[in-house]
Structure 1
Amino acid sequence: MEIGSPMASMYLLGNPDHYASHTFANFPWRVYVNFVRKFWSDASDVPSEFREDIPEDSIALQNNIGQIVGASVVDNYCFRPLIYENLNLYEWIQCHQKKQLNNSERLALLEERANREEYMKDFTPSDIRSETDDESLSSFLEEDIDLPDSDTESIESNETTWSVSDPDEIIVEKHLRHEKLVTIIKHLCIGKHTQRDTHGVYCDFTRLQNVIPNFIGGAIPRSDKGDREFYCTTILTIFKPWRNPEDLKDTTSTWDQTFTEHQFSDRQKELINNFKLRYECNDARDDHYQTLQKKNAEARGKKPRGNEYTWRKYDKF
């Protein structure tokens, strides 16, 4: 009785209870950065007792067709389908979706993978990097799309986009068409991913415009203060495509050197500058607080000296 009829009708029709221009996707960025840092820490010549204690990724246990397997968000990105080879971590968080396949989808994709030599091996990230220059792999990537890009764009622009002026039934119909268009383009994970035979991955690139990664695990480190190497590691992990931590930098280069030499896109530069806004606001707040405290002290007849105050001496009348 406490639920209004519009809310009840939207629930029964399967429509969302609110509409917004942007949505958020959880992004546990420290998990990926710690994975990269731990790899390079183990690969260094520093004795183990002097190495930094870096926490490992926690693995979630899931029921995978009657078997309990561990699922890691890092593995989802490292063993992503070859078609998404050049997708960086920030874009991956925005647009990727991993769904469990039904029997018909799973059998069809497994049969398709068995017929291609690129999927006949258990790839490791280093093997994948060395195979990307082969002509056979290049031709495979061109053919491994269920719908051509031109057809996808035309369908998206003409049949799946809706406006406020559309009637409700038209909006629902176009929404279903959009869901069908996105879900049919599924690909299997590669390598030693624990769910490579049971789950499919697809990327809806329209989500790049209205999905914002929600950084979980604290704020991004500062660029002007603190550990510079940690900051460069974080930014490169987020914005440079990689499968293995070795893809991010050379063994002879520091993270700062690699960060300086890497060519970021204009959009990535804009995002990196936006990361600084929080700290700039905090600095401005602290400066304003200190200025206000100084003015209040002077108004009360005190002369500030460090963190202490001394009373001004006045001549007696």
Structure 2
Amino acid sequence: MTKIVNQLTSKMEIGSPMASLYLLGNPDHYTSHTFTPFYWQNYGNKIIGLSVVNDYVFRPKELEHMNLYDFVSHYDNSTSLDDVSPKAYYFIKEHPFCKSQMIRLLPVKKHTIPNFIGATLPRKDQGSREYYCKTMLTLFKPWRTGKHLKAVNDTWDDAFETHKFTDHQKFLLKNFHIRYECLDANDDFFAQSMPTDSLRL
């Protein structure tokens, strides 16, 4: 009976986040950053139309030297023309909604982390090197057309090697690859733990 009572008591215990959720209406989980859904392939494939790609391609002149990663992280693109914030900017005239929308710089505490949605980002050590270089340049080198990313006679690898990435961008590039390193380590561990007879099958 004592064991049964002890088990029932443990089932009745709840953690502080759960208690806070029920009693105070607070969220049941916390993160150090806010994440923004980022359909990155649209930009890599340069799908131009009535889409979010336009917001970057036709970004305000004040943001001419802003790369795509920072643009997604630091700006709110759903601001109306009624916004009187000093950090709100007009899209250039080629933007289909330049007469009805502006873009606003978010306060530092509201900066977000792009959450890459769609296919996984290419890895630097496998697959097409050209595709990897093209994707990383699309994220970290300012552009309005593909001509701004590389010279006509250069390969994507040439453009990648000559581009001067900042220390922060190099840190991000390294972090992008950590996911693959973890998957590789998991595969290696699984292969080593498999019985020899199973591998023969």
Normalised to the residue count of structure 1, the TM-score between the two structures is: 0.52
Deviations 1:254-287 (A, max 9, x none): 0001101111011000100111111111111111
Which structure 2 segments of 5+ residues have no match? 1-20
Number of residue pairs the alignment of both structures matches: 180
Q: Tell me the residue number matched to 1:29.
A: 40
> Quick one: percent identity of the two aligned structures?
39
C-alpha change, 1:205 and 1:85, in structure 2 (3 Å) is: farther
Which structure 1 segments of 5+ residues have no match? 11-15, 36-55, 60-70, 106-179, 310-317
2:66 to 79, 82, 87: 87
**What RMSD over aligned residues (CA atoms) do the two structures have, in Å?**
2.6
- After superposition, residues 268-283 of structure 1 pair within 5 angstroms as 268-283=169-184
Q: Tell me the residue number matched to 1:78.
A: 57
- After superposition, residues 117-196 of structure 1 pair within 5 angstroms as 183-196=85-98
User: Would the aligned equivalents of 1:94 and 1:207 in 2 still touch at CA under 8 Å?
Assistant: no
| Higher alpha-carbon Rg | 1
Deviations 1:95-135 (A, max 9, x none): 11121223xx6xxxxxxxxxxxxxxxxxxxxxxxxxxxxxx
User: Would the aligned equivalents of 1:95 and 1:207 in 2 still touch at CA under 8 Å?
Assistant: no
C-alpha change, 1:308 and 1:19, in structure 2 (3 Å) is: closer
The higher-RCO structure (CA 8 Å, 6+ apart) is: 1
Structure 1 stretches of 4+ with a deviation exceeding 4 A read: 16-20
Distance 2:43 2:189 in 1: 36
Distance 1:86 1:262 in 2: 14
Normalised to the residue count of structure 2, the TM-score between the two structures is: 0.80
C-alpha change, 1:17 and 1:203, in structure 2 (3 Å) is: farther
Distance 1:228 1:255 in 2: 8
Deviations 1:285-304 (A, max 9, x none): 111111111xx22xxxx5x8
Residue 113 of structure 2: SS of its match in structure 1?
Answer: strand
Q: Tell me the residue number matched to 2:145.
A: 244
C-alpha change, 1:211 and 1:289, in structure 2 (3 Å) is: same
